[in-house]
């Protein structure tokens, strides 16, 4: 357990909690160092985790963005380095070969919204607020906001939200497809996220990781290139013990039991 990022694991599901509630879990350079260490560990082959929940400590915020106070004195070079740190975290999150759900209770602004969008999908509570307010600070989103928001909500809505810096509530986030589900409170949200991850856990981990890789790889590729990635993924399932077990179990009319990796 670290000071700024807490990690707890139950039944193969790890919960990462950004833990700076007095600063609404704002993302500092030190926090990125801790988070990177944990994400690198989760990536190691054979690490016994099959799903991740990313959430924020306290009642008010998931993450209220990058640490604005830390940015005040940064030179352009330091700013670029901070941006690179944040992008590395979003890329590590996106590349984890297991499902990752962002659970948003409160503010997910700027870098907070960007970290949530680097997860596979987002659940939130009725109190959640999302936004990319960077333009109001004379900044641009730089942990993937300009890149990932349009993937969730389409280019027109993303442009409107980014150019105005407008905050949206949970209902609007659900309507435009930024979040998958809205819950009355954090306990219900976290219970549902754990439940979904346990459902994923009973499926083939090899197949899930290949699906995730294929979906991520489809961005920025032509349809033909993306279909090639999909075909290769399918081929790779034929090299796996999971495919042998899954297909055999169907033929034998019994539930598949996939090996744990």
Please tell me which residue in 34, 37, 91, 114 is annotated as part of the active site: 114
Is residue 114 within 8 A of residue 161, CB to CB? The reply is no
**Which whole-number Å values give the CA distances from 16 to 74, 84, 189, in the listed order?**
28, 21, 15
Is residue 132 within 8 A of residue 113, CB to CB? The reply is yes
User: Whose Cβ is closer to ligand CO8: residue 66's or residue 200's?
Assistant: 66
Site for ligand CO8 contains 67 (CB under 6 A): yes
User: Whose Cβ is closer to ligand CO8: residue 74's or residue 260's?
Assistant: 74
Which one of 71, 174, 211, 215 is in contact with ligand CO8 (CB under 6 A)? Answer: 71
Q: Encode burial over 36-71: b for 16+ CB neighbours within 10 A, e otherwise.
A: eebbeebeeeeeebbbbbbbbbbeebbbbbbbeebb
Please tell me which residue in 44, 134, 245, 252 is annotated as part of the active site: 134
Which one of 92, 139, 174, 176 is in contact with ligand CO8 (CB under 6 A)? Answer: 139
Site for ligand CO8 contains 58 (CB under 6 A): no
Structure-block tokens of residue 91 = 């890329």
Minimum CB separation of residue 259 from ligand CO8 in Å reads 41
Structure-block tokens of residue 106 = 């409160």
User: Whose Cβ is closer to ligand CO8: residue 169's or residue 245's?
Assistant: 169
Alpha carbon of residue 170 to chain centroid: 17
Site for ligand CO8 contains 137 (CB under 6 A): yes
User: Residue 91 catalytic?
Assistant: no
| Residues 79, 86: Cα–Cα separation, whole Å | 11
Residues that bind ligand CO8 (CB under 6 A): 23-24, 26, 64-69, 71, 79, 82-83, 86, 107, 109-111, 133-134, 137, 139, 141-143
Catalytic residues: 114, 134
């Amino acid at each position: 357990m670290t000071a700024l990022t807490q990690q707890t694991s139950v039944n193969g599901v790890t919960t990462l909690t950004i833990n700076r509630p007095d600063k609404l879990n704002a993302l500092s350079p030190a926090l990125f160092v801790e988070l990177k260490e944990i994400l690198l560990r989760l990536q190691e082959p054979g690490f016994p985790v099959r799903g991740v929940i990313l959430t924020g400590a306290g009642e008010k915020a998931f993450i209220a963005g990058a640490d604005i106070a830390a940015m005040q004195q940064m030179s352009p070079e330091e700013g670029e380095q901070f941006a690179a740190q944040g992008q590395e975290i979003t890329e590590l999150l996106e590349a984890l070969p297991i499902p990752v759900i962002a659970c948003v209770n409160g503010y997910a602004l700027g870098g907070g919204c960007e970290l949530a969008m680097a997860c596979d999908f987002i659940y939130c509570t009725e109190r959640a607020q999302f936004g990319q307010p960077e333009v109001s600070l004379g900044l641009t989103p730089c942990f993937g906001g300009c890149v990932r928001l349009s993937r969730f909500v389409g280019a027109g809505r993303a442009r409107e939200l980014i150019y105005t810096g407008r905050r949206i509530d949970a209902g609007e986030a659900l309507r435009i497809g930024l979040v998958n589900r809205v819950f009355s409170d954090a306990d219900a949200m976290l219970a549902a996220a754990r439940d979904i991850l346990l459902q994923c856990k009973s499926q083939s981990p090899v197949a899930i990781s290949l699906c995730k890789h294929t979906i991520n790889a489809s961005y920025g590729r032509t349809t033909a290139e993306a279909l090639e990635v999909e075909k290769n993924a399918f081929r790779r399932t034929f090299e796996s013990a999971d495919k042998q077990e899954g297909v055999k179990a169907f033929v034998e009319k019994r539930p598949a039991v996939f090996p744990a990796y």
